[in-house]
Amino acid sequence: MVLSKESSSVLFHLLIVNELKKEYAQKIITSQYFINARSQAHHPNTTVASHTLGVVAVSLRLFYALEKLRINIDKEALTKAALCHDLGIVGRYDKFKNDFICCQRHPVDSVSVAKSIFPDIDKKTIDCIKNHMFPLTPIPPCCIEGILINFADKYCTFIETFLGKNTYPGKSYIDEV
């Protein structure tokens, strides 16, 4: 069956919202870290929370495309890492002296946040979070989930920075979760 562009957009939206309603995603979204992320500005037109949901949405769109090609991807690790990847940037003006230090340090702080939400978090998810800023940090992600998040993060940052407040990828999710 071939879906129209509108129908497939609606379908993907529902699939992504469904993923965001899962217990592991809600554990992050209802945490105080994510609540604080809703009020921290990030890029010209977003907050850390709305940027984060864009990165989740784009990562999952890539996941569904690659799933059709039978490429095996850990969806839980992808969603958890995408949701946590920038939570360490919250409070940046108190924590980091300048943008360079923020760029280098916030992935490490995001790993600490993820570990505090999931004490038994796996190494792959940690790697995705820790190396999401590559090549601005020196080590590339070690797995496909990390590569998808790395790409989704750059894509969302570009859209959020250059295309205005009505088009950013996380816009349609921020009030739904």
Structure tokens at 139: 């080590």
Rg of the chain in Å (alpha carbons): 15
Binding to Fe ion by CB under 5 A, coded x per residue (else -) over 100-139, reads ----------------------------------------
User: Which listed range, 31-39, 70-78, 137-145, 148-156, lies at the site for Fe ion (CB under 5 A)?
Assistant: 148-156
Going by their DSSP bridges, the two strands 46-47 and 41-42 should be labelled as antiparallel
Residue 62 to residue 88: CA distance in whole angstroms = 24
b/e map 116-141, b = 16+ CB within 10 Å: ebbeebeebbbbbbbbbbbeebeeeb
Q: Could you tell me how many residues of this chain bind Fe ion (CB under 5 A)?
A: 2
CB of 154 to Fe ion, least distance (A): 9
**19 vs 86, which CB is nearer to Fe ion?**
86
Task: Figure out which of the listed residues 19, 127, 145, 153 binds Fe ion, where binding follows CB under 5 A.
Answer: 153
19 interacts with Fe ion by CB under 5 A? no
Interacting positions 34-93 with Fe ion (CB under 5 A)? 86
Structure tokens at 102: 């923020």
Q: Which residues bind Fe ion (CB under 5 A)?
A: 86, 153
